[in-house]
Structure 1
């Protein structure tokens, strides 16, 4: 029996980007475990990815090209050959380009894979779409508002090395639940022995393990941070030497801080004044203090501003200069990979428009601007993941929209496709992964042959380029060639042999920390960090739709065992809010606003603060009565970079 172990990497949208080991016997993957040699993975995967080989071999996996034979949305398809699929796609694209131009094509990339070759980080197919003059896709669904805010303050979105959390004495886990969405960080948190504070509107699994839990109203994080700074400065605990040598605009920012007294901050955030004062005093006397903030807390109208303020806090205390101090949001800003060599925007025949990921429904239904006539959905399930689910479905239902979906399973979005192309999964193709929760590049070597007629995303676009009669050599580079171009300046052979490679972090702040940002002012924003309130006002509860412990976005949404563990779709209400609505624990409820509604079961608990309701994302509409929480989310931008506003959402809850 031929037995081998193959080094690979988890491609999913999680900060941990685990290094894994696939056990292969006679060409069949028989086991999967975390790589014990990787300093972050340390041999452990998560409850979701432990079942990844089930996904690879699932009986309902898509293994052959399909053509729709029923109405859009019906999910009725017939099997066809790759030749037929490529012929139809090439013919339709040629006709669309001739009539409407290349910009009528939208390559819509999602976070189903964060690979640089096969996933969103490298925009697979971008070279082909550039030659065709297609519109550019801007992935705004995840972290862009916060990254832009950090850029204004720090000159980089990169922060502290997460491994240095082990040296902190005080850790603020701000709007993050790592025990559910990135549990490997917890090892460094535990190693620190630090005093732990969870700042989250919901009492999460992580909050239960912390020394203290503070529950502000969603979207008020910037005000809370400014209130804490008011206490710190009032005690004279600012680091005057660090401020003088490493920052710009302190006098103006100090005046802004003085506006946020504990009393005013308490009114805005709903956090008692005494608790604001006590935490501010703790920060003032504790060095080093570290902040871990994740993407959920910036998905509201003032999300970018919130990260600007949080990045200022260790600038005032001087923690940026101390190992174990600072802010960790995303390490992506530290990776210096040659993504331009992958995307080859120099192949564009002319400048093209950009289309925003989180405005899919609006754009597909737009009759005033140049129409989208062809949509390629790549590693994405926008019916399940995008805001304003009703409008997304309405847009995908257009008879004149030609939709091609590259997928593993028959998702809600697949039901609206004209052509479905079966894609390889991670043990079946080559890829390079860079974690956004650590500083390691991770190599993924193919371990087994693809199932059925599945093709890698890169190979799919190589074949389509040939079918279109295109000849530019760049369209036909092998995956190994693409990896070498991406990793120019890195030791690819060592990475491939060892499975992972730590990169040196960039300097943080990149130059000086900008309490006042001239660049923000040039972009039309307040030059000073401040507080931008939520945009969804009025009656109703503020709905948080956080990560599920059993799904990752909508990946695993059809896995029978994980669906069983996740149970019914629930919405958690504070006892006072439930009583005011006559809702009892376990009651079936409808959650709604002007945009749409979904069904859930009420869970009455003090895990949420009054005025807030909580549910989880990641469910498929076909398993939840035809709608999910995203039916209630607005297609509206955050303050910076067009970020999403999933947590700036008010709803009514009533018994069904």
Structure 2
């Protein structure tokens, strides 16, 4: 079998960006004398059509030896991380895991993965956890991304895929309601789709408590209080019913459960919704008119409504609005979720989530367990059951979880109640981290393993459209750096040598096994091969057979439920887990800035990105600043019930007067996630990143 890991390209290589879920097409051209690669956008790739944001343009800088890890590190008796050989480092990891398992049982060992891992690595990591360690304790940082939308999509449609239609459909629809998303900052090449929508005569409605650069493009901007998106959606559905705008034929022919959902919505009178959300009733009515008057229309959600303790119900309410107006499963219409992380879609489809097996199969389904166990060559009964969701797993560290292997994640910065999670990581008996850079989490580890990154390895990712893509290796990694697949094979050789053959290091071989494991599952990749991907970048799952064209548009004939009907789910508004009070009178909401990405572990190592976004800040309204006596640029302290963070004030009328905003890319005193609330959605396990109660004051009183 040909190996895609052995030799780097000598000329230009078609690849894809390592950052967000657009997975923009790019060409990597080796520089003279082997000094890295030059990045250029690919005009022939339909998602970005040649455009790249600053992160994509500068992505190659993280490939340089000065920006990343190039040798394993092992903590010495003196407590310092010291350079070590690979054998020493791998022996230390294997010994730490074996020692923990022998003393406390398999579930005392845990695995925490990342939404940036390729499909092959995500698949192998899940297999390693369940067949080598024998642990149920595996989850990944994608739980913090779109798990609420996934849960709501499964509940309504029987299947979760970020977008059930290609991005190219957006400019051709009539109206888009964009809820809690700011693609101008989070995925800039996607903003053109919304600009083209407007140029074509369509309408854009943006729901966001801040007037972002994306909201500036909108025909109508609704700015609800943080945590009230659920009430807003229910208020809009109430008006749809009251004004006779329901698509009765569609509801009758293609859905089930309408009456309970309708009754729940009718309890949310528009005047009540206006009081709860702060959105004026005329704006609410105008949003309903614009959305229902369009011949085609879409609702798109992102982290805003999803990262709440009621995120699944909130997304469900927006899905109910789309269903009542006859949108999902029709051309140029529907509901979709703008997935955030680079491989957030594929990462959860193939085994990193606590409750899922490859192919998006349920771990509790006996038939699914039997199928995957056969591919893996193990008895079905040997597969552990579902484990904890991400925050619950991190919260258990040092308690009944004593050893942790982290691959491609930085929870010290990205987890809610981050100071507490940092303490949990420090309480572990053993911590190993495999990463590209020495992240804040890796700094706490007993062993750090330097691994390859996007341009140094071949592998597949799945973008927000369900489009499966081949990222090709363009250059060799620095000496001393190995692939995650090598790491998992070498650990298996030490922990369970009889299973070593089940962990090949050639990504194509791993992908071929993934195809077999996913066959017949909801996310069926059986018909997708490296050979097809080499010549075709339009393969969307499900793709069950080699001759199948893939499925760019889902649900056109039926939904993925038993009877083919979409399900309305009755939901009711409830407050956030933590509302402002006399002690903490303001809302805090968090998000991203265009020049940084996620925990910033990689982008904070790029000089030009740091120049554009050098550090954290606290965004607040000038009237709130005047009331508190805060000046532009002055260092302020934001305090919640979980801790405090300090950063310079940034005054802008683009935010509500009862709300402050912080980006979450930085560690230390400006770490926004020190403040955030780990209250979990009961269905998805999503923490409430998007709203908590805080107070704001000057860091130092003036004389």
TM-score under structure 1 length normalisation: 0.90
Report the CA distance shift for 1:493/1:359 in structure 2 as closer, same or farther (over 3 A). same
Summarize the Cα distance change of 1:180–1:655 in structure 2 as closer, same or farther, 3 Å threshold: same
Which of the residues 540, 557, 567 maps onto 2:604?
557
Asked if 1:460 is matched to 2:465, the reply is no
1:171, 1:71 → 2: CA distance? 58
Contact 2:73 2:81 in 1 (8 A): yes
Q: Which residue of 1 aligns with 2:677?
A: 634
For the residue of structure 2 that corresponds to 1:213, the secondary structure is strand
The structural deviation recorded for 1:499 is: 5.4
Task: Report if aligned partners of 1:339, 1:486 keep a CA contact under 8 Å in 2.
Answer: no
Rounded Cα–Cα distance in structure 1 between residues aligned with 2:314 and 2:180: 11
The 5 Å alignment of 1:420-499 reads: 420-436=448-464, 438-468=465-495, 470-472=497-499, 473-476=501-504, 478-487=506-515, 488-498=526-536
For structure 2, the residue ranges without an aligned partner over 5 or more in a row are 1-8, 340-344, 351-357, 362-371, 516-525, 541-549
Distance 1:594 1:529 in 2: 29
Superposition deviation, residue 429 in structure 1:
1.0
Indicate the SS of the match to 2:405. Answer: strand
For the pair 1:534 / 2:570, whether they are aligned, the reply is no
Q: Spell out, residue by residue over 1:275-323, the C-alpha distance to the aligned partner (whole angstroms, 9 max, x if none).
A: 1122222223222121221123211121111111111112111123542
Shift of 1:108: 1.0
In the other structure, the counterpart of 2:592 is 547
Tell me whether 1:20 sits opposite 2:18 in the alignment: no
CA displacement, residues 52-74 of structure 1 (integer Å, 9 cap, x when unaligned): 110001514110001123776xx
Contact 1:362 1:635 in 2 (8 A): no
Q: How does 1:57-96 map to 2 (within 5 A)?
A: 57-69=64-76, 76-96=80-100
Pair 496,537 (structure 1): closer, same or farther in 2 beyond 3 Å: same
Q: CA RMSD in A?
A: 2.5
2:554 matches 1:506: yes
2:382 to 349, 354, 378: 349
Change (3 A) 1:609 1:538: closer
Match of 2:101 in 1: 97
Residue 223 of structure 1 and its aligned partner are, at CA, apart by 1.1
Residue equivalent to 1:523:
none
Q: Is the 8 A contact 2:615 2:666 kept in 1?
A: no
Q: Give CA deviations for 1:525-565 in whole Å, capped at 9, x if unaligned.
A: xxx12323211123221111112211110241333321221
* Structural mapping, 1:232-311, within 5 Å: 232-311=240-319
Contact 1:542 1:611 in 2 (8 A): yes
Q: Check the 8 A contact 1:231/1:281 in 2, yes or no.
A: no
Between 469-478 and 278-287, the greater mean CA deviation after superposition: 469-478
User: For the structure 1 residues 494 and 321, does the alpha-carbon distance in structure 2 shift closer, same or farther, using more than 3 Å as the test?
Assistant: closer
Q: How does 1:1-20 map to 2 (within 5 A)?
A: 3-12=10-19, 14-20=20-26
Q: How many residues align?
A: 627
Pairwise CA distance, 1:454:
0.7
Taking structure 1 as reference, are residues 198 and 60 closer, same or farther at Cα in structure 2, changes over 3 Å only? Answer: same
Could you say which residue in structure 2 is the equivalent of 1:525?
A: none
User: Counterpart in 1 of 2:613?
Assistant: 566
CA displacement 1:377-426 (0-9 Å, x = unmatched): 1101110111111111211222x521111112121111111111001011
**Greater mean deviation of Cα atoms: 528-537 or 236-245:** 528-537
Residue equivalent to 2:125: 124
Of 352-361 and 336-345, the range deviating more from structure 2: 336-345
**CA apart distance, 1:35:** 2.3
SS at match of 1:364: coil
Query: How has the CA–CA distance of structure 1 residues 248 and 496 changed in structure 2, closer, same or farther, with 3 Å as cutoff?
Result: same
* CA shift in 2, pair 1:353/1:314, >3 Å: closer
Q: Is the 8 A contact 1:107 1:129 kept in 2?
A: no
> 2:536 & 2:58 partners in 1: Cα distance?
24
Q: How does 1:137-152 map onto structure 2 within 5 Å?
A: 137-139=138-140, 140-152=143-155
Partner in structure 2 of residue 325 of structure 1: 333
Instruction: Give the distance between the partners of 1:199 and 1:346, measured in 2 at CA.
Output: 49
CA distance in structure 1 between the aligned counterparts of 2:508 and 2:329, rounded to whole angstroms: 40
Distance 1:421 1:384 in 2: 19
| Inter-partner Cα distance in structure 2 for 1:39 and 1:226 | 35
Deviation of 1:160 (Å): 3.7
Question: Which SS does the other structure have where 2:388 is aligned?
Answer: strand
CA distance, structure 2, for counterparts of residue 401 and residue 465 of structure 1: 21
- 1:605 aligned residue: 652
Change (3 A) 1:133 1:160: closer
Show the 5 A alignment for 1:358-437: 358-366=391-399, 371-398=400-427, 401-436=429-464
CA distance in 2, matches of 1:153, 1:497: 35
**Residues 242 and 264 (structure 1 numbering): CA distance in 2 closer, same or farther, change over 3 Å?**
same
CA distance in 1, matches of 2:315, 2:111: 30
In 2: Cα distance, 1:261 partner to 1:565 partner: 45
- What is the distance in 1 between the residues matched to 2:284 and 2:205? 12
Give the match's secondary structure for 2:225.
coil
Shift in alpha-carbon separation, 1:589–1:417, aligned structure 2, 3 A:
same
1:651 matched to 2:689? The reply is no
Secondary structure (helix, strand or coil) at the match of 1:20 reads strand
Does the CA-based 8 Å contact 1:541-1:611 persist in structure 2? yes
Shift of 1:567: 2.9
1:189 to 191, 194, 204: 194
